[in-house]
Amino acid sequence: MSIRTAELLSDKLSTDLAWRKKELSEVKSLVETRKVSPQRHNALIRSGICILYAHWEGFVKLASNSYLEYVAMQRLSYDQLSSNFLALAMKTKLNEARDTNKPSLYIPVCDFFISNLNTKCSLPYKDKDAISTASNLSSDILKEITCTLGIDFSVYSTKSVLIDIKLLKTRNEIAHGNYLTVDREEYIELHAEIMGMLDIFSNQIQNAAVNKDYMRNSP
């Protein structure tokens, strides 16, 4: 079902977030269990960090692309789009011209900018990589995603060390087979931070849809 209303967008995000949170809570409960050997406990924490990262990246990607689909379903013209979505729409046209060495192919692009901005927009919501995490959701990539979506990055600006080092770097070390230990309290703190950021990102997307921030002259 296409995401045509803010309610459908909210339902999709809420449903997706619910199962992710449930799984993360189950893993946290296992980590908090003290009736296991140190080796098993360390294995649980290592697994928990990988799952934390997977759900953080997975939700950001799903929520972002769901919002993009919602905006596309509003059937706006190019001149009604906010500048961030207009840039995303124009990126496809510019890429098509850039992929060749023929300057003549830029002429239709120029003509479009001059006279066709009042036509119905075409956003690449079916392209799963239109908004990409590059499988390494660093704070820089998150900033690029929020800029593309037109939502505020400042709420994450103080969390770059947490995102880049405590979560992403640690997850990469584990995923690449390197041995390291993570303290139980560090993991529990990281878990709480990620759960909080999941809620923040979900709320930002839903608020942007309700407030029509995707429009050039949003209320």
Read out DSSP for 108-174?
HHHHHHHH-TTSBP---TT-TTSS--TT---HHHHHHHHHHHT---GGGGGGHHIIIIIIIIHHHHH
Predicted pLDDT of residue 72: 95
* Count, residues in the chain: 219
- Residue 132 contacts by C-beta under 8 Å, 6 or more apart in sequence? 61
pLDDT > 90 in the chain, percent = 63
What are 60's strand-pairing partners?
Answer: none
Predicted pLDDT of residue 99: 62
More confident residue, 206 or 111: 206
Predicted pLDDT of residue 96: 66
Q: For the chain, count helices (H), then strands (E).
A: 8, 0
Predicted pLDDT of residue 52: 96
Cα angle: 109, vertex 115, 119; to 5 degrees = 90
* Mean pLDDT, residues 62-79: 95
Residues 114 and 21: their CA atoms lie apart, in Å, by 48
Which helix (H) or strand (E) segment is 93 a member of?
A: helix 83-98
Residues 60 and 140: their CA atoms lie apart, in Å, by 14
CA 18 to centroid of chain Cα atoms: 17
pTM above 0.85, yes or no: yes
Say whether pLDDT at 219 is over 60: no
Say whether pLDDT at 57 is over 70: yes
